[in-house]
């Protein structure tokens, strides 16, 4: 089989070399797309189609794979996604073509969970503002911080990451509420309830949903108005789940207190006039939730485990 890497998955080079040697020993090839081996701007649809034209399998992380490129890839049978979400893959085309798609679900669970905890603590203690005051030669500000213990945490989406977040916050003395479309068995969740109830009751709301037609724009102006004026919102899942304009309005009006956002309607860098960049009471990071060395190492192993499983006729982590 001819396997093509469409994107750098930030794996250690010795690991890639080891995998390539093992694949070649079995009669397979592992090559890089031509645009990866030269100083090249972001690949075009033509570039990606050219890379896929003789490929039986492709490895990609979070780069958008155009439907046209997949349609033209007559030999393509497998797309190995070194990422959790697959909204950047043309799943309809893959289903039509019987192309198997696997993902690396779970690789970033610990990393995202730790970032969510960091967000919560930083906002409760006003770390960003207090650092600015100190650098400006000032003493601590007039607003007192808050402890995490005793707070009610609302988890919107109790999948792998949502349950991991529940475990951490529950261990730190929080009451944990969760909204999930199906019933979840998790000892760290004190109560599973409807979305509106989670929003009304929670001191901190943290979102952990995939992006789908049903979740896009789910947290809109109406939902934000349900939250406490002292509440904090965290989104380290997918940007379009939260209506950005509604969030900016809620923060400026004081409808909610603060928001920490790692994901946006487009991938960073953001345009200079992006509303959130100029919005008060925000803690913003450029999609770093998954970006730890440990997560990168784990996803490389999951990605190649998926490849070997597919080559062996028993694909794993298949996305429907």
Strand ordering across the sheet containing 2-5: 29-32, 2-5, 57-60, 78-81, 100-102
Residues of the chain with CATH 3.40.50.720: 2-107+293-312, 109-284
Asked if 264 and 289 count as a contact pair (C-beta separation under 8 A), the reply is no
CATH code for residues 2-107+293-312: 3.40.50.720
Give CA–CA dist 104/106, Å, rounded.
6
Q: Give the alpha-carbon dihedral of 122, 123, 125, 131, to 10 degrees.
A: 70
Give CA–CA dist 23/30, Å, rounded.
7
Which residues on adjacent β-strands are paired with residue 229? none
pLDDT tens track of the chain, all 320 residues? 999 999 999 999 999 999 999 999 999 999 999 999 877 678 999 999 999 999 999 999 999 999 999 999 999 999 999 999 999 999 999 999 999 999 999 999 999 999 999 999 999 999 999 999 999 999 999 999 999 999 999 999 999 999 999 999 999 999 999 999 999 999 999 999 999 999 999 999 999 999 999 999 999 999 999 999 999 999 999 999 999 999 999 999 999 999 999 999 999 999 999 999 999 999 999 999 999 999 999 999 999 999 999 999 999 999 98
Quote the pTM value: 0.93
Active site residues: 238, 267, 287
How many Cα neighbours within 13 Å face the side chain of 15? 15
Give CA–CA dist 66/124, Å, rounded.
42
Chosen CATH of 109-284 out of 2.40.280.10, 3.30.1950.10, 3.20.190.10, 3.40.50.720: 3.40.50.720
């Amino acid at each position: 089989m001819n396997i093509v890497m469409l994107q750098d998955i930030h794996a250690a080079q010795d690991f890639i070399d080891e995998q390539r040697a093992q694949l070649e020993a079995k009669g397979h090839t592992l090559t890089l797309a031509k645009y990866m081996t030269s100083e090249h701007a972001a690949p075009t649809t033509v570039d990606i189609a050219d890379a896929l034209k003789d490929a039986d399998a492709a490895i990609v992380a979070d780069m958008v794979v155009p439907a046209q490129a997949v349609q033209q890839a007559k030999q393509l049978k497998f797309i190995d996604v070194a990422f959790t979400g697959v909204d950047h893959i043309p799943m309809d085309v893959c289903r039509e073509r019987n192309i198997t798609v696997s993902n690396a679900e779970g690789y970033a669970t610990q990393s995202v969970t730790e970032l969510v905890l960091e967000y919560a603590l930083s906002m409760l203690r006003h770390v960003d503002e207090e650092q600015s005051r100190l650098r400006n030669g000032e003493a601590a500000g007039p607003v007192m911080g808050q402890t995490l213990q005793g707070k009610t945490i609302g988890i919107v989406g109790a999948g792998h990451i949502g349950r991991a977040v529940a475990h951490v916050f529950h261990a730190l003395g929080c009451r944990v509420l969760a909204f999930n479309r199906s019933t979840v068995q998790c000892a760290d969740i004190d109560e599973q309830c409807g979305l509106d109830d989670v929003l009304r009751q929670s001191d901190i709301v943290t979102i952990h949903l995939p992006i789908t037609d049903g979740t896009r724009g789910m947290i809109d102006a109406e939902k934000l108005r349900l939250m406490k004026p002292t509440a904090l919102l965290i989104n380290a899942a997918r940007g379009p789940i939260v209506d950005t304009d509604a969030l900016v309005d809620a923060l400026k009006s004081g409808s909610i207190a603060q928001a920490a956002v790692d994901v946006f309607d487009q991938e960073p860098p953001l345009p200079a006039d992006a509303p959130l960049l100029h919005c008060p009471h925000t803690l913003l990071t450029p999609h770093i939730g998954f970006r730890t060395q440990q997560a990168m190492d784990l996803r490389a192993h999951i990605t190649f485990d998926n490849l070997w499983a597919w080559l062996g006729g028993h694909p794993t982590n298949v996305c429907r």
